[in-house]
Structure 1
């Protein structure tokens, strides 16, 4: 983990934002030099000289105005990034900067999820400013979590009751295969039903943050581990009664690109016969058909957001369809018992947050001119979505899903 002094982060930001002002000043001096040269020409009238002075001044003012806009935009982004890095640090005198974008995105994502974990509702759809994918909107909640987690709890309780397992730790050992603040907060709240909880993340910085946050809430037998499911030796000989894969499929690209087709065969190695696997995911936007001008704009916002992420040299969150999950589970001898979906509802605030994700990526663009043009388009997109996605309106588009599957390794293929 790299450590940078907070002042150093700000210094780098100030150095970057000063360059446009210096360039504008040089242009101003060049224009004035030309005007001064023309002053010495006897054939130029006094009126023409005044016009030359005025044009040089206006040109310099325009350059300075453009530089000021860039300065404000870059300063805001630099401060925001520095603030978020500082916020993540257990040691308030330094900034912990993960080695890779996926680690940074996941760390930022789960800091945001921690803030939302106790809220009674959860907005739907796509990324937040920190790369988070938000789940389905819930109108009410008795505990941390949302409708999707409530559905999982109800399904698991009912299934175990049918097996005459209604003891206080009927859930047994639970594996949170792609843990975060959101899922871990929910599972910690279920401790009366579980014998042991093992939470896994591929991000060392995220594991550290979770350990710090839940240090007074975890039982001695509970564990938060750092590991990659692409590592065949990770968690060898460990088995669980229940596995929760909460948006794990979408996050895999950040740590083990293109491992999605092998994740379920990897997970069921740790699932006892008759155990339950719960897969939570977000249906890709490309699989949903817009039905109005507002939903067309929502899809366009998602496309432009992802384009900004890619142009910044970062990886997009890659979700897979519900039907794809069905096919994969069948191949690993898991019997699907239930598969439900919940429409995602978008407000004006949520749409603007998706656009802001694109803005946050502009400083990472390899070309300044490209970044400036994209900034203009993002502003235009923000204006276009303002009316159909006003604060008093919401629009349904796409859905989140939960697939419940029972592991039956002895069944015929």
Structure 2
């Protein structure tokens, strides 16, 4: 049952759920500020994975023996948990993939080969992660289509007028990020979906950075496809979800061939399985799916209202404190942001700053964050990125600020 907004948000109790936060890094208590790359895992998820491998492991869907049937039940219960979590209409529309990257590749490959042809176009934005650029470049090159890119302004927001001008009958799909991993920008995906649908253009949303921070309702968004990764939402690595509207998935050919995705196989002809199994060839990441289900339960136990409120307070506090550092410039100042702050300090290379922070026990991400075209738009090599989850507190931010000030004295 989800915690109500009235219930207390006990940050110290929550922090105790995450074993890694009690560890040290370079002899210092770890300050983990890289959740946008991969979040930490609560003991509840770790224990569920351990329990599955110790007492419940068997292959799913095929076995008639009790252990296999129990594993299958746990696996499909996790699918139903995810369906409810994102408010998908049907379990048929919840496909397990290795992560957001595979979800995008599945749509680009399967939808692309079915619906994108010579002279067509695909529309993305200038703030996309490489995983939402490269698959579309590959399918456009293969099919003879054009890749269109909607620009972003200096604040790191999509230029909606420019995006809408790029929408025409040649565009066969729009694919964009819900929340920027590099800037924290929360994009107006609902408005973009509505405009695209006026022209009967489907939309895929990369939700990897949104799902840890905010409730996602795929029906309210009316997204045609929505994909996210388990490891960014306190679950295991190597597992993710692609939601797709049944009407599209039924028309799309399988992405991989093998076991489970078939009904019958002869040397002359293969017929494919029903959804969602048509897109789930081979033995799945059973433990990952079960662990993902436990992560969903954990998020629900905290409550998105509590998560959003706490993380917004952290974002405001971090922005205020960082802006007081002389020479520090925040990259990405959109009006709507998630709990990510990317920044540069005049005269200091991001890598050097990140290396000193590491010695102080502070984990941040440095570099281009798999958004090289976005960094080129700002004419910078990369940034230092601090990204917060609900297990962070203001003391973590104070440590970051103190660490930056110390590093600047050493490097300048």
What TM-score bracket applies, with the shorter chain setting the length?
under 0.3
More helix as a share of residues: 1
Larger radius of gyration: 1
TM-score by length of 2: 0.26
Higher RCO (C-alpha 8 Å, min separation 6): 2
